[in-house]
Amino acid sequence: MKITRRSLLATSGAAILSSTLPRRGWTETRVELDGGIEILTLSDGNLTLPAEFIFGPMPGDELAAVLARFDMDPSAPLTPPCNITLLRHGDTLALFDAGSGTAFQSSVGALPDALAAAGIDPLDITHVIFTHGHPDHLWGALDDFDEALFADATHMMGRIEFDYWMDDATVESIGAERASFAVGAKRRLEILADDMVLFDDGASVLPGVTALLTPGHTPGHMAFVIGEGAQAVMVLGDAIGNGHIAFARPEWTSGSDQDPEMAAATRGRLFAQITAADMTVIGFHLPGGGIGRVVQGSDGFTFQPEM
Ligand SMILES: [Zn+2]
């Protein structure tokens, strides 16, 4: 496995005007696996979330102590990065998640700019593989005219996840805080449904890429394992949803998970699997571009971005 970081801005040429540059706080991280598989992450921008969206159910005193390690204030708004994973293998150019698009928050939706800076046309994308149906992962699949932005791509989603968001009962059961997520997901999935390929736990979604049901954040959330053995890279989506508390206290329930108990159990299983195999991970909301290693310490885990 070869991991490199470089400045995308410095290598994409002077022809790109500064006004069109993606909002990006890090250099591009690129992982090359044996067999010609190349993986990189692109920034869709940063979300802005109230602190209680994640920290609400957590014990205040201990929370403050853990966050102090990260120079974080427990009451300050959170600005998690959004990292889209791009896999290139032969003629395949696959995105894992599609970002937020322009209808969710103003600080996200930069993926089209990031693709342009990398010299990739949306029509070059062959597959869009969703981890789950939340706005920051799904809504960017459509353009401002409600048509598929990646018009030539095969769109793929876990069957449980797709059925959950397509169910008319979900908007009633999901709670007022996320009702707009349900309406927004159903509307977009109805547009994409005819060409959507559904898959189940353990499915090979691409050659060498295996789906892993990781429920809790949403009912049918999927992570993906690319490659095997010491070469393996896990695309986590939001199954491990931040680089601070989710690593330091994976057993704590988080307000950002739809089934917090189930999500905590999933995190426990994932950390065991990742550390046993010493896998590289890619997290949608992890810092430094989202690609890194998991380090087990005496007091929880830490995320070490690849440098
Ligand atoms: Zn997310």
H or E stretch at 180: helix 179-192
Kindly state the tokens that stand for 49.
């979330």
Cβ–Cβ under 8 Å, residues 98 and 128: yes
The pLDDT assigned to 142 comes to 98
The CA distances from residue 173 to 160, 213, 222, in Å, are 16, 22, 21
- Give me ligand 1 centre to Cα 183, in Å: 17
First to last CA, the chain: 14
- Give me ligand 1 centre to Cα 181, in Å: 12
Q: List average pLDDT for each run of 10 residues in the chain, which is 307 residues long.
A: 59 39 55 90 95 93 94 95 96 98 94 92 98 98 97 98 98 95 98 96 97 98 92 96 97 97 98 96 96 94 90
The CA distances from residue 298 to 112, 268, 277, 302, in Å, are 41, 16, 19, 10
- Give me ligand 1 centre to Cα 192, in Å: 20
- Stated pTM of the model: 0.92
- Give me ligand 1 centre to Cα 134, in Å: 6
- Give me ligand 1 centre to Cα 148, in Å: 20
Spatial distance between the Cα atoms of 56 and 188, rounded to a whole number of angstroms: 29
Kindly state the tokens that stand for 240.
């491990």
Query: Phi and psi for 156 in degrees, rounded to 5?
Result: -135, 135
Quickly name the fold that domain 2-12+22-305 has.
Metallo-beta-lactamase; Chain A (3.60.15)
* pLDDT, tens only, 156-194: 999 999 999 999 999 999 999 999 999 999 999 999 999
- Give me ligand 1 centre to Cα 164, in Å: 17
The pLDDT assigned to 28 comes to 65
The pLDDT assigned to 13 comes to 37
Residues recorded for the chain: 307
The pLDDT assigned to 34 comes to 85
Q: For residue 144, give the nearest of 108, 111, 110, 103 by alpha carbon.
A: 103
Domain residue limits, the chain:
2-12+22-305
Spatial distance between the Cα atoms of 38 and 90, rounded to a whole number of angstroms: 9
Query: Phi and psi for 87 in degrees, rounded to 5?
Result: -115, 130
The pLDDT assigned to 16 comes to 41
- Give me ligand 1 centre to Cα 102, in Å: 15
- Give me ligand 1 centre to Cα 31, in Å: 22
